[in-house]
Amino acid sequence: MNKLLPAIVVGLLFLALPVAADGIEYLDPLVELPPASPVLVIAEDVPDDVGEQINLSWSLSFDDPAVGGGRGNVISYTIMRKEADTDNEFKVLGAVEAGNGQYLDTTCEPDSSYIYLVGASNGNTVAFSNPTETTIASTHFMHSQRWNILIGTLILSGLLLYFIYTARKGKELFIRRIAGLDAVEEALGRATEMGKPIRYVSGLGGMSDVATIASVNILGQVARKAAIYEIRLIVPCFDPIVLAVEREVIKESYLDVGRPDAYDPNDVFFVTQSQFAYAAAVNGIMLRDRPATNFYMGMFYAESLILAETGASTGAIQIAGTDAPAQIPFFIAACDYCIMGEELYAASAYMSREPLLLGGLKGQDWAKFIIGAMIVVGVIVSFFTTSFAEFLTGS
Partner 1 sequence: MEISTDIWVWIAAIFTLFIYSFLYKDNPLYKFAEHVMVGLSTGYYTAIVFHTVIVPDFWEPLVHSISKFTMSPAEFSSYAIANELTTLPTVLQDFSPVVAIIMLLIPALLGLMLFTRFIPKISWLSRFSLAFILGAGSGLAIPNSFQTRILEQLRGTIVEDQGSIVVPLFSIDAWRDFFSAPGIGTFFEAVSGPLLIIGTLCVLAYFFFSKEHKGVLGGAAKAGIWFLMIGFGASFGYTVMARVSLLIGRMQFLLTDWLGIID
Measured from the CB atom, the residue of 114 and 331 that comes closer to partner 1 is 331
Contact between 166 and partner 1 (CB under 8 A)? no
User: Do residues 195 and 232 make contact, with C-beta atoms less than 8 angstroms apart?
Assistant: no
d(CA 268, CA 286): 15
Q: How far apart are the first and last CA of the chain?
A: 79
Rg (CA), the chain: 36
Residues 267-286 that bind partner 1 (CB under 8 A): 271-274, 276-278, 280-281, 283-284
155 is a contact residue toward partner 1 (CB under 8 A): no
Q: Does 2 bind partner 1 (CB under 8 A)?
A: no
Taking 3-state DSSP, the helix, strand and coil percentages for the chain, each rounded to the nearest 5, stand at 45, 20, 35
Find the binder of partner 1 among 18, 47, 158, 372 (CB under 8 A): 372
Give the C-alpha separation, 6 to 135, whole Å.
64
Q: Which of 293, 282, 304, 289 is nearest to 336 (CA)?
A: 293
Site membership for partner 1, residue 65 (CB under 8 A): no
Residue 144 touches partner 1, criterion: CB under 8 A: no
Q: Does 344 bind partner 1 (CB under 8 A)?
A: no
Q: Interface mask (CB under 8 A) for partner 1, residues 297-336, using x and -?
A: -----x--x-------------------xx-xxx-xx---
- CA quadruple 296, 297, 298, 299: dihedral, nearest 10: 30
Residues 70-89 that bind partner 1 (CB under 8 A): none
Binding characters for partner 1, 193-212, by CB under 8 A (x = yes): -------------xxxxx--
3 state DSSP class of 146: helix
Residues 91-110 interacting with partner 1 (rule: CB under 8 A): none
Give the span between the Cα atoms of 314 and 317, in whole angstroms.
9
User: Of 130, 144, 132, 135, whose CA–CA distance to 108 is shortest?
Assistant: 135
Contacting residues toward partner 1, per CB under 8 A: 146, 148-149, 152-153, 173-176, 178, 206-210, 213, 241, 244-245, 247-248, 271-274, 276-278, 280-281, 283-284, 287-288, 302, 305, 325-326, 328-330, 332-333, 340-343, 346, 350, 361-362, 365, 368-369, 371-372, 374-376, 378-379, 382-383, 386, 388-390, 392-393, 395
